Structure formats: structure tokens, C-alpha cells
Amino acid sequence: MMLMVMTCKAVKAKWDFAHATFYKEAPGGACGYFDENSRSLYAGVYTTALSTALFDNGGKCGSCLEVKCYGSSKWCLTGSRTVRVTATDFCPPNYAKPSDNGGWCNPPRKHLDLSIPAFEHIAVYEGGIVPVLYRKVKCLFKGGIRFTIRGNPYFLLVLVWNVGGDGQAVSVSIKGANTPWFPMRRNWGHNWEFTQARLQGQALSFRVLTSDGKSHTSINAAPHDWVFRNTYIGQP
């Protein structure tokens, strides 16, 4: 009997046009990917803030993009360089300035405000702003989804991060060892809240649905003696 093996080539997203500037990463971030010491929870320095047109009220937090400098700009580095970045922040509008002269992130402009290392990977620092092409790609994070628990006994706030594959969580559910599954509500960025029951003293399970339709269930990701401000590791 002849064994036939079929291979499927992944279809990459189409390139879209935008502009890119750079910023110095500051404590905080609209996606919530910082710990109490203002250190980025994502290893690496290749990140980007997204304009209103791309940020989707936090829905695009955690997504991964491939970016390259585009066109005849003298500030583009040669060699068709590309850089992969993770969306970790929001680039707010600046309505005091025109969209084409300082108000780069004003709606409806599509704009990427890259970290300095990411910008310098594709363009010359002195350029300040360059035309780019970008497309969504799979995230390459390893080691399982992270759940950082904050709040108090009556209000759980769980930061979901290190989501591989699609990278974007569109819904999150939580289950205590002695409770059914409950849906959580997006509070801001990738922080999800829960107030329907007290779950202290119970092992916690999480179910994360990503925008590609895949469900990731982490059973007993946090043990029964979990504590606030700790991070627990779930399934990839």
C-alpha cells in the first residue's frame, strides 16, 4: 500500500500599508504587560504601540506583526529587512497636531509606534517616521500561557499573556475546583475581571479563546494555595 503524505503551506496575511515612528518604553502600557516594578513581562525589546485604527480597544493586545520599511524613503535600511514585534501598548491620538504632521496616531491613520530597537532594525533612527508594510503573523512565545492574578477576594483581575499562536485572547473563562466555568469580562488591555464568586482556597482553571477560533484550557493552572500578584503557567 502506498502512503501518501500531504503537506499544507501556511497562508500568510497580506501586507498592509502604514507609517512607523519610535518611542522609548515607559512604565505602564495600555495592554498591562508590566509587573509591579514596571518591568516588561515580555522578554525581548521588539514591541509596538498601535494607533486607534489598529488597537481595537485592547483587542489586538498580544498580537504579533511582521514589519518592513517600504518605498523609496532614504531612511529605510537596505536588504529588505523585516522585524517581528508584539503589540503591547496604545498610541493615543494627538488632536492638537495634524494627522500628517505630528498627529501620527490620529484616526483613521494606521500607525505603528515601534520600540527603538525594532525601529532601528528596519530604518535609520534619524528618519523619525517611515512608511512601512505590516502583516499579522503567528506568535512564537513558548512555555505556556501566563496568568498573573491581582485584585482582592471580591475582585479578581487576571492578566493573560505569553499567548502563543494567534496571541489575541477574545474571551477568557475561569473555574474554581468547586465551581462551574464562569466567563470573565475584559477590564482593560489583556486584564480580565471576575466578581461572581469567591475563589480563594480553590485551584483555578482557565480557558482562553483566541481570535483564530482555538480554545486553550489550562486545568488547575493555579494551585489551591495561589496568592495575589503571582504568575501561574498554563497550557501552550
Single-letter code of the amino acid located at 33:
Y
| 53 plus 127 within the same structural domain | yes
Residue 71 is predicted with a pLDDT of: 81
| 115 plus 172 within the same structural domain | no
Residue 67 is predicted with a pLDDT of: 97
CA gap 4, 168 in Å, rounded? 35
Residue 40 is predicted with a pLDDT of: 76
Residue 136 is predicted with a pLDDT of: 96
| 30 plus 108 within the same structural domain | yes
Read off the C-alpha cell for 77: 535600511
Closest CA to 19 of 87, 89, 100: 100
Residue 8 is predicted with a pLDDT of: 31
| 160 plus 119 within the same structural domain | no
Residue 141 is predicted with a pLDDT of: 87
Q: Which domain covers residue 46, as residue numbers?
A: 16-137
Closest CA to 200 of 159, 147, 155: 155
**Ramachandran angles phi, psi of 118, nearest 5°:** -70, -45
Residue 5 is predicted with a pLDDT of: 27
Closest CA to 114 of 163, 66, 58, 184: 66
Residue 26 is predicted with a pLDDT of: 58
Antiparallel, parallel or unpaired: β 83-90 and 47-50: parallel
CA gap 227, 210 in Å, rounded? 26
| 131 plus 175 within the same structural domain | no
CA gap 150, 27 in Å, rounded? 18
pTM for the predicted model, two decimal places = 0.87
Residue 38 is predicted with a pLDDT of: 66
Residue 1 is predicted with a pLDDT of: 29
| 29 plus 115 within the same structural domain | yes
| 198 plus 90 within the same structural domain | no
Residue 4 is predicted with a pLDDT of: 26
Digitized pLDDT (tens) for each residue of the chain, 236 residues in all = 222 222 334 446 899 999 999 987 655 689 998 876 667 777 678 999 999 999 999 999 999 999 999 987 789 998 768 999 999 999 999 999 999 999 999 999 999 999 999 999 999 999 999 999 999 999 988 889 999 999 999 999 999 999 988 899 999 999 999 999 999 999 999 999 999 999 999 999 999 999 999 999 999 999 999 999 999 999 87
List the CATH number of the domain containing 104.
2.40.40.10
Question: Radius of gyration (Cα) for the chain, nearest Å?
Answer: 20
For 195, the 3-state DSSP assignment is: coil
Domains held by the chain: number: 2
User: Are the CB atoms for 128 and 141 separated by under 8 Å?
Assistant: no
Residue 12 is predicted with a pLDDT of: 64
